[in-house]
Structure 1
């Protein structure tokens, strides 16, 4: 007998966090095509070749990770969901990860020549440190348990992206490349919701495990984080040693690694707090829109209401 197919009913919600997250994500929907990137060309022309190289390759790395998340990450999480509404939320996240990946190509098209773009993608597709973290995460997506896959997703979105995010936030803090930085802030706003929501779903499953299973999973996730951080140190040195930002970027990474652990309901690992991060970058990392309309530069036809990013408190399940 053919199995009955159930229509999703948004009037009967099993988990209110699903509905809240759906509403948050749809309220803050955006597209890169409405950001006037060409307005940054004056800043771009004043920057050095070294800075051009850094910006291009940072965004190349971010493109790879967003591609991984859109093509494999969300599909792996969708294999085991608690509610139909959770599946709908993951579909939304999957689409927006594709928007993120596409946004970097819009930046490339604005700032770089075709030859430079080809070089960036060749570098991205062959760089050993980028490929290591992509393959390490994807292996978990393909072979890990559902809880391990959620850990990998949160580590990717709340930790591994941030070696790349540092650069545009630094320029934003110095009032340069403001439109490029606006795209990054919009992506950050999305990732804030993605990481917190998936971390919440992880916590639900983690709390259902026995003590021995919890201890085993905790050991696994901390070992994974240390492995990824070791690789990220090498990647950061490769990108930032020449420009002299390496130590500041690594502090930023450790701070965000702790945030990823907190999303998963785990204790921070590193001593670095917000006060240790470059204050110019911390100012840029704010993903709220309480004092800024992200779309003010593109006309009232695309204005969105003021939307604040979800905080960890929104997913407090103690």
Structure 2
């Protein structure tokens, strides 16, 4: 006889972090169609061909990674959830990753011609360095152990995205492409929750391992990070050498690699901290967003008010050895 199908009961929750994360994510809900990207056209036309090429390519790369996260990442992680509530949170994350991926196409359709868009996706789908990191992460999603998949997800969301995020944050700091950057800031706000939540779930499983297993696994984590960072150096040079930003972007990447490790409960690897990052970009990385009247831009009088900004400490989880 088949077992009864179980209805999810949000009044009986094993882990209150699931409920808190669900509420945070639903508070933060947004759609790219509510942001007036066409207001950035004058700024876009003022950029050099070289600068426009970099913006287009970084968004192509970000589209690829968000496609990976929405199509394979979350479905892979959902196979190993501890509860129905955790699966519900993962469903929310999966949908928002699809929103993120679509958002870049909204940017393309506003700023780029159809032939330029075709060129962007051709470049994205065939660039060896970009494809290396996508395939490296996806191979873990397809073949890795549950904890390995969580590490891959945290590294993707808290580290690998940031070589692309640097560009719109840089232009925001120079008073250009404000609405494009607003989408990035909304994505950043989501990713900060995703990375810390999945990092928290990783820590629950990691703390159940023996000391020997923990040490072996930690070595695997750092080896993966070294491999991804080495590839990211190549990707960053490919994008930014021509405008002289490579070293600044690498500093930004190392800073965020450290944050990814901290989300997993590990010590930072690199000496870089927030003070070393370009202050113009660091100012833009704030998870607060502008108070755009998003809905009135599309003919609706509803005002989307400020969503409470998430501070760096909101999603820091600490565990004792007993837990």
Aligned to 2:133: 133
Hey, what does 1:103 align to over in structure 2? 103
Q: Matched residue of 1:301: which SS?
A: coil
User: Does 1 or 2 have the higher relative contact order (CA < 8 Å, sep 6+)?
Assistant: 1
Q: Deviations over 1:12-53 (max 9, x none)?
A: 111000000000000000000000000000001111100110
What is the 5 A alignment of 1:251-266? Answer: 251-266=251-266
The corresponding residue for 2:293 is 296
- Pairwise CA distance, 1:315: 3.8
Structure 1 runs (4+) greater than 6 angstroms displaced: none
Rounded Cα–Cα distance in structure 1 between residues aligned with 2:174 and 2:311: 27
Report the TM-score, using the length of structure 2 for normalisation. 0.95
Question: Does the CA contact (< 8 Å) of 2:261 and 2:267 recur in 1?
Answer: yes
Superposition pairs of residues 271-286 of structure 1, within 5 angstroms: 271-286=271-286
State whether residues 153 and 195 of structure 1, in contact with CA within 8 Å, keep that contact through their aligned partners in structure 2.
yes
Aligned to 2:307: 306
Aligned counterparts, 1:12-31, within 5 A: 12-31=12-31
SS of 1:272's equivalent in the other structure is coil
Listed as ranges, the matches of 1:25-174 within 5 Å are 25-174=25-174
1:312 and 1:133, CA in 2 relative to 1: closer, same or farther beyond 3 A? farther
From the superposition, tell whether residues 64 and 22 of structure 1 become closer, same or farther in structure 2 (CA, over 3 Å).
Answer: same
Say if 1:28 and 1:304, in contact at 8 Å, map to a contact too: no
8 Å Cα contact 2:294-2:303 kept in structure 1: no
Distance 2:309 2:176 in 1: 24
1:186 matched to 2:183: no
Give the distance between the partners of 1:314 and 1:241, measured in 2 at CA: 35
The whole-number CA distance in structure 2 between the counterparts of 1:3 and 1:312 is 42
CA contact (8 A) 1:80 1:146 kept: yes
CA contact (8 A) 2:294 2:304 kept: no
The runs of 5 or more residues in structure 2 that have no matched partner are none
Indicate conservation of the 8 Å contact 1:196/1:312, yes or no. no
How far 1:303 moved relative to its partner?
0.6
CA deviation profile, 1:186-215 (whole Å, cap 9, x unmatched): 000000000000000000000010001000
For residues 84 and 305 of structure 1, what CA distance do their matches in structure 2 show?
30
Q: Give 3-state SS (helix, strand or coil) of 2:221's partner.
A: helix
Q: Which residue of 2 aligns with 1:267?
A: 267
- Structure 1 residues 117-137: Cα deviation after superposition (integer angstroms, max 9, x where no partner): 000000000000110000000
